[in-house]
DNA sequence: ACATTATTGTTGTATCTGCAACTATCACCA
DNA sequence: TGGTGATAGTTGCAGATACAACAATAATGT
């Protein structure tokens, strides 16, 4: 491949980083203001609600929300204390734990989702022409596919 | 407005988030492995090296690297201790401090930059067709422009 | 059956970040 | 000139995250 410094492509990278940072900031602030939910909490609720049976193994949930095992353990502790989720034993494998949504968690998500999705639309997707959407998804998918899965998962070396 | 869930555009958002997380992970890991530099340190070095006179006010630097004032204070402390940057008095306004690159910092950046830029190219820009690059930059710029500047800067309410 | 190895989730600890409060300095205006 | 408020940077503190070590359980091979 041609490997010139190529400032055009470098510019994309900068723009990508800045857009991401700004987007996360706004969406987080909006979600926090409107429903007192950090984005990470929202993400957990979404992943659980989309899972079959509204529950997931802790480790799978960790991968879904892009967090390390220990990171999720602590996050889940906080959310459990808030009554939005709960741990259940997983009979099939007694090492495992099932992370499940409580009714309160479902309700909280149901109330917060519309505003958040509207935010994503307003701040992000709105700027996307119909045709561009697929191009972009495909691009991100290519990037993602060529990358190793999550590094920095914890556990011993 | 049309407020259908619009899964196509939602998919872009998800793909965007996942690609970002994965990219940061790999690039950080590579930079760390090859040059013992966290991405934040690299960013500071780049911003300073691109600034006129190789120095910037602390607050401007904070904005450039997308960090809060206090966040930068601490980050800069660490980098100063490592000898890569230094604080200089700013005569024109004695409240201010100039963040400057040391020769060691310049040297470190000069050695690390090629590998990092190659990484950005290999993991990100390579998947981008020539024509797509401009489309994408424009899109991110639109997103960025429509957004408020950094929220969550610190300081009293 | 048993020993060895892998996997699951949690915990100890360190790092990094932001918010709010603080000090020092500056800007402005009466 | 003095006073009031704004601004620059630092610091105390709390929150969130990752890595490494750990206990409990499962899987595998002999």
Between CA A85 and CA A81 the distance in angstroms is 8
Q: Does a structural domain hold residue A12?
A: no
Least confident of A69-73, B3-7, B76-80, B147-151: B3-7
Residues of A in contact with B6 (CB under 8 A): 121, 125
How does residue B26 score in pLDDT terms, banded at 50, 70 and 90?
Answer: very high
Per-residue pLDDT band for B5 (boundaries 50, 70, 90) equals low
Interface residues, strand C, Cβ cutoff 7 Å? A 57-59, 69-70, 72-74, 76-77, 87, 90, 93, 95-97, 154-155; B 38, 40, 67-71, 74-75, 78, 93-95, 151-157
- Alpha-carbon distance B102 to nearest alpha carbon in chain A (angstroms): 24
Q: Report the alpha-carbon distance of residue A125 to residue A118 in Å, rounded.
A: 10
Q: Is the predicted pLDDT of residue B3 greater than 60, yes or no? A: no
To the nearest whole Å, the CA of B94 is away from the closest chain A CA by 31
Asked if residue A60 belongs to a domain, the reply is yes
A3 occurs within a structural domain: no
Residues of chain B contacting A19 with CB distance shorter than 8 Å: 140-141, 143-144
Distance from CA of A94 to the nearest CA of B (A): 31
Instruction: List the CATH number of the domain containing A26.
Output: 1.10.10.10
Greater pLDDT, A147 or B86 = B86
A149: pLDDT strictly greater than 80: no
- The mean pLDDT value for A79-97 works out to 96
Does a structural domain hold residue B27?
yes
- Tell me the residue range of the domain where B119 lies: 17-146
Decide if pLDDT at A153 tops 80: no
Q: Examine residue A149 and state whether it is found in any structural domain, yes or no.
A: no
Check residue A4 and give its pLDDT. Answer: 46
CA distance B78 to B67: 15
Predicted local confidence at residue A152, as pLDDT: 56
H or E element at residue B88: strand B85-89
Residues 20-79 of A with CB under 8 A from B: 20-23, 25-26, 29, 66
Q: Is there a domain that residue A29 lies in?
A: yes
Q: CB contacts < 8 Å between A and B, how many?
A: 154
Please name every residue paired with B75 in a beta bridge, in sequence order, or none if there are none. none
The overall average pLDDT reported for chain A is 89
Say if A154 falls within a structural domain: no
Q: Residue range A41-62: average pLDDT? A: 96
Comparing A40 with B151, the larger pLDDT belongs to: A40
Residue with tokens 């857009």: A19
What's the CA gap between A31 and A45, in Å, rounded? 13
pLDDT of residue A123: 93
Q: Which residue has the higher pLDDT, A5 or B112?
A: B112
CA B94 / C1′ C30 distance in Å: 26
Mean pLDDT, rounded, for A108-119: 95
The answer to whether position A52 is within a domain reads yes
Q: Check whether B131 has a pLDDT greater than 50.
A: yes
Q: Is the pLDDT of residue A84 over 70?
A: yes
Report CB contact under 8 Å: B141, A15. Answer: yes
Tally of domains within chain A:
1
Predicted confidence at residue B53, as pLDDT, reads 92
- B positions 111-130 inside 8 Å of A (CB): 117-118, 120-121, 123-128
Q: Which nucleotides of C are covered by protein (CB under 7 A)?
A: 7-12, 16-22, 24-27
Q: What angle do CA B79, A5, A129 make, to 5 degrees?
A: 100
């Amino acid at each position: 491949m041609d490997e010139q410094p190529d400032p055009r492509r470098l510019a994309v990278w900068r723009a990508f980083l800045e857009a991401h940072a700004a987007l996360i900031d706004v969406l987080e602030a909006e979600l926090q203001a409107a429903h007192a939910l950090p984005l990470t909490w929202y993400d957990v609720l979404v992943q659980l609600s989309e899972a079959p049976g509204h529950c997931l193994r802790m480790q799978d949930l960790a991968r879904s929300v892009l967090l390390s095992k220990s990171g999720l353990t602590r996050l889940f502790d906080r959310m459990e204390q808030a009554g939005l989720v709960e741990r259940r034993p997983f009979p099939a494998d007694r090492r495992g734990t099932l992370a499940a949504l409580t009714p309160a968690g479902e309700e909280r998500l149901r109330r917060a989702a519309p505003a958040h999705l509207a935010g994503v639309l307003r701040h992000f997707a709105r700027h996307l022409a119909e045709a561009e959407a697929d191009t972009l998804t495909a691009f991100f998918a290519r990037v993602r596919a060529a990358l190793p899965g999550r590094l920095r998962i914890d556990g011993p070396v």
